[in-house]
Amino acid sequence: MGMGGSRYFHSATSAHNTQYIGSRQYISRTESRMAASSSPELVQAHVELWNLTYSYLKSMALQCAVELGIPNAIHRSGGAASLPDLLANLPVPQARKPYLPRLVRFLVVTGVLALDAPVATGDSGVYRLTPLSRLLVDDARANGCTSLAPFVLAQTNRYHVGAAMHLSEWFKGGGDDDDTPFRMAHGTDQWDAWRRDPQVNKVFMDGLGSDSQLTLDFVVTRCGEVFDSVGTLVDVGGGNGSTARAIARAFPHVRCSVLDLSHVIGDIQPSDGVQYIVGDMMSSIPPADAVLLKHVLHDWNDEDCVKILTQCKKAILSEKPSGGKVIIIDTVVGSPANDIMFQAQVTFDLNMMVTTPGRERDEHEWRNIFMAAGFRHHKTRTVLGFLSLIELYP
Ligand code: SAH
């Protein structure tokens, strides 16, 4: 050992390097480091920190799997595909093929794909779909439900990911008081950004539309009675009309229309009995027995929610002075009381913080805005996992 080593040894055991650990006990800092490094807790914390630090790559790998069509390719190979099958069928040029095994290995580790162990040396095994990636297959008959691949692309769009990069700067006071991280990143709010960028507008609306089809399958089968006494319904902020069309198909007695902004529905022709009305929900909502708000109120702060709900109240009372109702499909944070559902709700809430002035609300927060808008009672039920359906009455 040279001079440097012996100097280190002396300083590590000097009084200066001791640490107080109890009423009479001192241990050297070297010993304390050794104790810490052999602690299973620290080892666990270290690996968890690494995994969390890189967890944005889970989103990006999922987006990449959808863009490359990996779930579709496995589905087309009969539900199981070897690495050579994938290499032959995916739109990956020769120079990038050597990287593919590393991407699919990551997709296996994150639960997007399953891997049957290799049966022989040199065999790379067979990749299968998992219940999660079955939700990403375009062929609807494969799942008995709609593909959520467009939803993945919509929610990992470059505007949202770019906005998330501004979260800490925003917290430290960057931008104006009423800015969102989205506005800091892109100079405008989400709806205006979509108006200016028709391509992303389409990706976003197609994505929400795909999610609406799945959600409405559950609404129709689990709580169809919500629509029993409804003759006319307007889906406010109804996006590309997926929800309204699903309601019109399942309940032909309901005459449905969609109210949304001109860049969202201006070019959509009436179909499946659904009418499209360009308008601003803040200033007027057409009369109807029921007003539906799906994933709309979570985009807005309490004050704007009260404005929207006040317009909803006018719309249902002018159609039926005795009643009518507002139907809200959104999350009620904490309901159901279940860890994985709660995780989805608070993640979704952070997404709203990044992209809008809105939030996901708990039961108490919902009740406050209902009362402020003059509604007297409501009934809440879980409709699909972490999503609830609320019927709201004046
Ligand atoms: N209800 C749909 C879309 C939710 S996204 C679904 O669940 O899939 C919110 C919608 O509100 C978007 O379609 C957006 O264009 C619309 N929107 C935003 N501001 C609006 C306004 N002032 N008036 C009407 N619609 C508006």
Ligand 1 centroid to residue 284 C-alpha, Å: 14
Does domain 152-393 match CATH 3.40.50.150?
Answer: yes
pLDDT computed for residue 337 by the predictor = 86
Residue bearing the CA closest to ligand 1, atom 3: 239
The answer to whether 307 and 319 have CB atoms below 8 angstroms apart is no
Residue bearing the CA closest to ligand 1, atom 22: 280
pLDDT computed for residue 238 by the predictor = 98
The string over 50-61, giving b where at least 16 C-beta atoms fall within 10 Å of a residue's C-beta and e elsewhere, is: eeeeeeeebbeb
pTM for the predicted model, two decimal places? 0.89
Ligand 1 pocket test, candidate residues 190, 197, 208, most atoms within 8 A of CB? 208
Give the catalytic positions in this structure.
298
Q: Is 284 in the pocket of ligand 1 (CB under 6 A)?
A: no
pLDDT computed for residue 27 by the predictor = 53
pLDDT computed for residue 123 by the predictor = 76
pLDDT computed for residue 146 by the predictor = 85
Q: Is 266 in the pocket of ligand 1 (CB under 6 A)?
A: no
pLDDT computed for residue 21 by the predictor = 45
Fold of 56-135: Arc Repressor Mutant, subunit A (1.10.10)
Chunked mean pLDDT (size 10), the chain, 394 residues: 35 40 52 70 96 98 98 95 95 97 97 88 86 91 82 98 97 92 97 97 97 94 94 97 96 97 94 95 96 98 98 88 89 93 97 98 98 96 95 96
Q: Within the chain, which residue ranges are assigned CATH 1.10.10.10?
A: 56-135
Q: Within the chain, which residue ranges are assigned CATH 3.40.50.150?
A: 152-393
